[in-house]
Amino acid sequence: MKLAAVDVRQAASAADIVYDALRKAIIDGDLTEGENLRQDQIAQMFNTSRIPVREALSRLEQHGLITTERYKGAVVAGLSIEEIDEIFEFRALVEAEVMRLAVPNLDHETLAAARRHCEEFGLETDSARWGEINRSFHYSLYAASKRPYYLQIVRTSLDRIDRYLRAQLTLTNGVMRANREHEAILAACLKGDAELASRLTRDHVLDAGRSLVAFLKDQRA
Amino acid sequence: MKLAAVDVRQAASAADIVYDALRKAIIDGDLTEGENLRQDQIAQMFNTSRIPVREALSRLEQHGLITTERYKGAVVAGLSIEEIDEIFEFRALVEAEVMRLAVPNLDHETLAAARRHCEEFGLETDSARWGEINRSFHYSLYAASKRPYYLQIVRTSLDRIDRYLRAQLTLTNGVMRANREHEAILAACLKGDAELASRLTRDHVLDAGRSLVAFLKDQRA
DNA sequence: ATATTGTATATTGGATCCAATTTTTCTATC
DNA sequence: GATAGAAAAATTGGATCCAATATACAATAT
C-alpha cells in the first residue's frame, strides 16, 4: 500500500488561538486603548472556558499590551507620548543595527522580494493594509541579518506602537514620505552600502516617530 | 484612635509567586538546562493547584526561559553558543546606548551608590553573589538614563544568559577583569564622558561574551 | 530472543465549580 | 428628591474534575 506522507502538524491550543487573535486585534487597533476585556465575554466568543482566555491575557500582559488588576479585569494598555517616543528611539537603534548586519547577506532573491513589497506599498490604496506591507518590506530585509533574537525584540517593540502608527499612516503625506524612504533604503541595499542603509533606516524610524508624536500631541490636546 | 500608616500592598497572586520563584531558580542556575518541570510537582511545592503553575509556565515560555510541548511538559530552555553570542552582541548595543544616555543625568547620589556596588563587587568572596552585585552596579547607572523600556529589554536579555554568566564568573580572573572594567566605567561616568563610558560598557559586555563563549565551547566540547 | 501489539500510567489542556471582592442596584430614611 | 446602607450581580483567581495523548511496560506472536 502506498500513502502520501501527510504533515500532521500540532494543532494550536485554545490559549494560543485566543492569544493570537487578541494580539492581532490590539495591534490592528480593533480593540482600543482602555477597552475592557472580560474573560467571560472573550471565552464565549471563542467557545471555550475562561482558562485558556486567562492564559492568553497573562501572556499579553507580559508583552505590555494589556494591564490587569485583580477583581477589576484587563484593559488594553495605553501609551503615553513619552513611552511612544522612547520605543521609536529604541527601534531606531536596533533596526539600524539589524539593517547594517543584513546588507552583507542580501541576495538577489531577497532584494527582489523587498522590491515587490516596496512597489506594493506604493500602489496599495487600502490604508488598512499599509501597516502590514510596511512590516513585510522591512522584515524581508531584516531577515538577512540572521539575528533571530534582535528580530524578536523588534517584533515586540513594533507590536506596542503599531496601532498608533497605523492611525498616522492613514495620512497620505505620511505614506508618500515613507514610500520615498523605503526606496532610498532599498537603493542603498542594492549598492551594498551597509552604513547608508543603516543610517537611512534609523532616520526612517525616527521620522515616523516624530510625525506620529506630533500627530498624537495634536490629537490628544 | 491612631493607626500607623500601613502600606497595604496588593498581595501577589499565586501565579505571580510561582513565576517569580521559577524565574529566579532558572536565572540562578538552580534549575538546569533541559530539566523537566512537572506541573503537578511544582504545584505541590507551592501548595497550589496546577492552574497558577500553568500560568507561570506560560509566562516563562513567552520570555524564552522554558519551552513547552503538549503532553510532554516544560523543560528549562538551553541556548546554543550562537544564541548566547547574539544576545551578548545585542546587550552590547543596547547597554552602550543606555550608558551614553545615562551619563548626563548622573548625580552625586547615584554615583556614590554605583561606587559602593563597585567596591562591594571587588570585596565579595562569595561567588554566588557576584552576579547579583554585578547587576546592581550596572542598573544603578543605567537607571539614570530614564529609559524604562530599554531597561526592561535589558532585563529580559540578561535573564536569558545570567546563569551561564554566573558559571563563568566563578573563575577568579573573570571577576578580576570585570572589576577593573567596572572601575574604568565608573571613572568615565565621574568625568562625565558619555562617549567613553558608552564605549567601555560595550567592550565590557563584549569581553564578557567572548570569554563566556570560549568557556562554554571548551566545556561543551 | 526479538519485534509488535495492547494496556496501564503519567501528564497536559480544558471545563466546571467555588471563594473572594468589586461594582451595581435597590430600598429605607431624611 | 437625595443619600446612606444593604442586598444582588458581576467578575476574577483558584481548586477539582474530565478528556486527550504520550510514554513505559507487559503480553504475545514470529
What is the predicted pLDDT for the residue at B24? 95
Q: Same domain for A70 and A93?
A: no
Do B90 and B59 sit in the same domain of this protein? Answer: no
The residue among B29, B55, B76 that closes a domain is B76
Query: Residue A137 pLDDT more than 70?
Result: yes
In a domain, A194, yes or no: yes
Q: Residue A1: inside a domain, yes or no? A: no
Q: Report CA-CA distances (Å) from B51 to A3, A208, B95, B198.
A: 42, 43, 37, 45
The pLDDT of residue A157 is above 60: yes
Choose the final residue of a domain: A38, A53, A76. Answer: A76
Same domain, B85 and B70: no
Q: With contacts defined as CB-CB under 8 Å, which chain B residues touch A150?
A: 86, 90
Same domain membership, residue A179 and residue A113: yes
The single residue listed with the C-alpha cell 538552580 is: B30
Q: What is the arithmetic mean of pLDDT over A24-31?
A: 93
B20 belongs to a structural domain = yes
In terms of phi and psi (left: phi > 0; alpha: psi -120 to 50; beta: otherwise), the region of B137 is alpha
Of B93, B94, B149, nearest to A87 by CB-CB distance is: B149
Residue B115 forms contact with A (CB below 8 Å): no
pLDDT tens across B53-84, in order? Answer: 999 999 999 999 999 998 889 999 999 999 99
- Among B22, B54, B58, B100, which would you mutate to test the A interface (most chain A Cβ atoms within 10 Å of its Cβ)? B58
What pLDDT does A176 receive? 85
Domain boundary among B60, B76, B92: B76
The 10s digit of each residue's pLDDT in B198-213 is 999 999 999 999 999 9
Note the pLDDT of residue B172: 60
Assess whether pLDDT exceeds 60 at residue A180: yes
Nearest to B207 by CA among B112, B92, B97: B92
Q: Would residue A2 count as lying in a domain?
A: no
With a cut of 70, list the residues of chain B below it in pLDDT: 1-11, 170-172
Q: What long-range pairs does A11-14 form, CB within 8 A, spacing at least 24?
A: A13/A52, A13/B70, A14/A46, A14/A48, A14/A52
Instruction: Give, for B47, the enclosing helix (H) or strand (E).
Output: none
Give the minimum alpha-carbon distance from B10 to chain A in angstroms, rounded to a whole number: 9
Q: A59, B63: Cβ pair inside 8 Å?
A: no
Q: Which nucleotides of D are covered by protein (CB under 7 A)?
A: 11-17, 20-23
pLDDT (tens digit per residue) in A42-92: 999 999 999 999 999 999 999 999 999 998 999 999 999 999 999 999 999
Protein CA A51 to sugar C1' C14 (Å): 7
**Residue B169 buriedness (CB in 10 A; 0-12 / 13-18 / 19+):** buried
Range list of H helices, chain B: 14-27, 39-45, 50-62, 81-102, 108-123, 127-142, 148-169, 172-191, 194-220
Q: Same domain, yes or no, for B72 and B44?
A: yes
Q: Which amino acid is at A138?
A: H
| Residue pair A98/A147 in contact by the 8 Å Cβ criterion | yes
Q: Residue A127: pLDDT above 80?
A: no
CB of A105 closer than 8 Å to CB of A145? yes
Q: Label the pairing between strands B66-69 and A36-37.
A: unpaired
Would you state the pLDDT for residue B11?
Answer: 59
Query: Is residue A190's pLDDT more than 90?
Result: yes
Q: How far is A112 from chain B (nearest CA, A)?
A: 27
- Looking at the fold, whether A31 and A109 belong to one and the same domain comes out as no
Per-residue pLDDT band at A172 (split at 50, 70, 90):
low
Are residues B68 and B100 both part of a single domain? no
**Same domain flag for A136 and A202:** yes
Q: Tell me the average pLDDT across A92-104.
A: 98
Smallest CA–CA distance from A52 into chain B, residue: B55
Output A11 or A18, whichever has higher pLDDT. A18
How far is the CA of A118 from the CAs of A69, A133, B49, B204, in angstroms?
A: 43, 8, 52, 39
Burial (CB < 10 A; 0-12, 13-18, 19+), residue A83, is middle
Q: Is residue A8 part of a domain?
A: no
- Asked if the Cβ–Cβ distance from A90 to B59 is below 8 Å, we say no
CA dist., res. B63 & res. B23, Å (int):
10
The number of domains in chain A is 2
Using an 8 Å CB-CB cutoff, list chain B residues near A13: 70
Nearest CB to B90: which of A87, A150, A157?
A: A150
**In whole angstroms, what is the distance from residue A197 CA to residue A100 CA?**
7
Residues B112 and B152 in one domain: yes
d(CA B127, CA B130): 5
Quick one: residue B7, left, alpha or beta (phi over 0 = left, psi -120 to 50 = alpha)? beta
Q: What is the CATH number of the domain that holds B97?
A: 1.20.120.530
* Minimum CA–CA partner of A84 in chain B: B149
A5 located within any domain: no
Mean pLDDT: which of A102-111, A116-125, A171-180, A207-216 is highest?
A102-111
Q: Is residue A9 part of a domain?
A: no
The whole domain housing A157 covers 81-220
Query: Within a domain: residue B9?
Result: no
> DSSP of B149-178, one letter per residue?
HHHHHHHHHHHHHHHHHHHHHTSHHHHHHH
pLDDT of residue A11: 60
Specify whether A43 is located in the same domain as A134: no
pLDDT at residue B4, as a whole number: 29
Q: Let me know whether A90 and A105 are in one domain.
A: yes
Contact flag A10-B70 (C-beta cutoff 8 Å): yes
Whether B131 and B48 map to the same domain: the answer is no
Protein residues bordering strand D (Cβ below 7 A): A 37-40, 50-51, 54, 57, 68, 70-74; B 13-15, 47-52, 55, 71-72
CA B163 to CA B33: how far, in whole Å? 10
Task: List the CATH number of the domain containing B27.
Answer: 1.10.10.10
Could you tell me the distance in Å between the CA of residue A12 and the C1' of nucleotide C6?
30
